[in-house]
């Protein structure tokens, strides 16, 4: 979708979007359109339940006296509640209402509204950003779709007095949207197209933004002793890879030590020999969402030239059953030297991360490591689809992450770590086993990861199994791969890890 900013012009063709506040009070431009159309808006108001509540809409089709095809009146609710997130969800509501309306173009008029704390430029930029995020669609494999069945809206002009200011405010948001789309594309791809080697190849795109790539193949990983990651991939015809993406944007030498992001990239998870049931198994194409988010985040940081040294590491494997697959009961040796008894080959993400986390710390010496993984079904049982699970060994990092989640609408909920849980993964024959029984499944998984975190490293694990994919459209996120985590971690970096 094409997004532009312009000064207000009420004489354009196409759809118009104007706002009303709580109680149904029209904005100045809404008032003007009402007058120009002989009172069409106010007549419609009188005959509807529209009260200007946040996200509420009222449409007047073919208003007389105007070139406009329609007027969409959009409620913004209580003026003092309008912040950047609220403006973004208004942008989402605009695409929800007009995306398939038949109109190709829309003009959104952002007036100065008394009581709204955002400047006109901020309001306009955030509306545009939300609209952009909601317009995402993964349709590259729909070859027979008729043009009339595709979304009609291809161009949105956000009209505001402060055009230059709006463009300036939008620039970094546009970078974030690009990164979110990069992630959503990866997460949406089927596993016959996206497997470790093709995933690594896609990351080449990041080099254009100034990201340095390093790819480890199986031979190199074997030499490094990554028996856990390689064990997961050994049943697949698709060889495993690790990719590191480095963005060095810190201007000062004292900020050299990087922050690291590590993603689980299981490009398909059949469960292996502990095979999953057939129903819903297709969902396991997005078991690489953690890696997808890390990739999209690096895309954002590089595109907006973040003043930070950051490294993204993704562990890419396919978990398949075959004559060469690892068996329940196998014992694997990790790069760290610790051994793991593989009780269930479907608990593979922790095995992949054990080696990816260790290699990341050994290679890049980060002060902070944040991993993202669609790690456990148990986190969906606990939190549903409304929070990602967070496990963290550092109070400051915990506070920062919770705040960044609230600020971006990507909510986190902290769960505990502790010795009592750690005991659940003790093994009779190895240093640990890869499952800790039915109880507290997400926590025992996190305990295993923590065994691969070095002393003095601030660490957080985000279990995104419940939030990486959505089955319904909502706000700024259409159904499908959500990109959850990109916005949150970009905010974390911007607020706490960028040198000035």
Q: Residue 84 or residue 318: which is nearer to Mn ion going by CB?
A: 318
Convert residues 273-302 into a mask of x (bound to Zn ion by CB under 5 A) and - (unbound). Answer: --------------x---------------
Q: Which is nearer to ligand BES, 14 or 349 (CB)?
A: 349
Q: Whose CB is nearest to ligand BES? A: 377
Residues 229-268 vs Zn ion: string with x where CB under 5 A? -------------------------------------x--
> What is the Cα–Cα distance from 163 to 121, expressed in whole angstroms?
7
Just list the catalytic residues: 276, 350
Site for ligand BES in 246-285 (CB under 6 A): 269, 283
Please report whether residue 377 would count as binding ligand BES according to CB under 6 A.
yes
Assess contact for 63 and 34: CB atoms under 8 A. Answer: no
Q: Which one of the spans 161-169, 295-303, 344-352, 419-427 is the region binding Mn ion (CB under 5 A)?
A: 344-352
Instruction: Please report whether residue 441 would count as binding ligand BES according to CB under 6 A.
Output: yes
Cα–Cα distance measured from residue 116 to residue 253, given in angstroms and rounded to the nearest whole number: 41
Among residues 235, 249, 349, 405, which is the contact residue for ligand BES, using CB under 6 A? 349
Does the footprint of Mn ion cover residue 422 (CB under 5 A)? no
- Which member of 21, 270, 376, 424 binds ligand BES (CB under 6 A)? 376
Q: How many CA atoms lie within 13 A of 384 on its CB side?
A: 3
The minimum distance between CB 220 and ligand BES, in angstroms, equals 25
Is the dihedral angle over the CA atoms 435, 439, 445, 450 positive or is it negative? negative
Q: How far is the CB of 349 from ligand BES (least distance, A)?
A: 5
465 scored as a contact of ligand BES (CB under 6 A) = yes
Minimum CB distance to Mn ion smaller for 341 or for 346: 346
List interacting residues with Mn ion (CB under 5 A): 269, 346, 348
List interacting residues with ligand BES (CB under 6 A): 269, 283, 287, 344, 346-349, 374, 376-378, 435, 441, 465
List interacting residues with Zn ion (CB under 5 A): 266, 269, 287, 349
């Amino acid at each position: 979708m094409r997004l532009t900013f312009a000064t207000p012009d009420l004489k354009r063709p196409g759809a118009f979007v104007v706002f009303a506040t709580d109680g149904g009070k029209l904005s100045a431009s809404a008032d003007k359109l009402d007058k120009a159309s002989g009172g069409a808006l106010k007549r419609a108001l009188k005959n509807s339940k529209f009260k200007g509540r946040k996200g509420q809409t009222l449409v007047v089709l073919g208003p007389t006296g105007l070139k406009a095809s329609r007027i969409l009146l959009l409620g913004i609710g209580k003026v003092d509640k309008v912040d950047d997130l609220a403006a973004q969800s208004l942008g989402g509501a605009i695409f929800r209402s007009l995306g398939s309306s038949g109109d190709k173009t829309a003009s959104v008029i952002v007036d100065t509204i008394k009581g709204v704390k955002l400047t006109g430029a901020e309001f306009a930029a955030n509306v545009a950003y939300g609209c952009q995020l909601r317009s995402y669609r993964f349709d590259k494999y729909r070859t027979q779709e008729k043009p009339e069945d595709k979304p009609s809206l291809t161009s949105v002009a956000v009209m505001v007095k402060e055009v230059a200011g709006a463009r300036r405010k939008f620039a970094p948001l546009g970078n974030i949207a690009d990164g979110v789309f990069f992630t959503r594309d990866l997460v949406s791809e089927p596993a016959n197209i996206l497997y470790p080697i093709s995933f690594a190849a896609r990351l080449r795109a990041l080099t254009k933004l100034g990201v340095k790539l390093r790819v480890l193949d199986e031979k190199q990983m074997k030499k490094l002793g990554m028996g856990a990651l390689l064990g997961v991939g050994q049943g697949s015809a698709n060889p495993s890879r690790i990719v590191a993406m480095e963005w060095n944007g810190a201007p000062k030498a004292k900020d050299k030590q990087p922050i690291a992001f590590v993603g689980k990239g299981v490009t398909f998870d059949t469960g292996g020999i502990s095979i999953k049931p057939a129903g819903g198994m297709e969902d396991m194409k997005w078991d690489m969402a953690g890696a997808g988010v890390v990739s999209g985040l690096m895309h954002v940081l590089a595109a907006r030239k973040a003043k930070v040294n950051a490294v993204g590491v993704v562990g890419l494997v396919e978990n398949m059953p075959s004559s060469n697959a690892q068996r329940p009961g196998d014992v694997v040796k990790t790069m760290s030297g610790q051994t793991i008894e593989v009780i269930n080959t479907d608990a593979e993400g922790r095995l992949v991360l054990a080696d990816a986390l260790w290699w990341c710390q050994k290679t890049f010496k980060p002060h902070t490591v944040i991993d993202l993984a669609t790690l456990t079904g148990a986190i969906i049982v606990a939190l549903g689809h409304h929070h990602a699970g967070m496990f963290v060994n550092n109070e400051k990092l915990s506070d920062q992450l919770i705040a960044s989640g609230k600020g971006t609408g990507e909510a986190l909920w902290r769960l505990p770590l502790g010795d009592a849980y750690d005991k659940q993964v003790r093994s009779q024959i190895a240093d640990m086993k890869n499952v800790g029984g039915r109880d507290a499944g997400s926590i025992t998984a996190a305990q295993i990861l923590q065994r691969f975190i070095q002393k003095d490293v601030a660490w957080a694990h985000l279990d995104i199994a419940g939030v990486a994919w959505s089955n319904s459209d909502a706000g700024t996120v259409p159904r499908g791969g959500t990109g959850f985590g990109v916005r949150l971690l970009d905010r974390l970096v911007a607020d706490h890890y960028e040198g000035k």
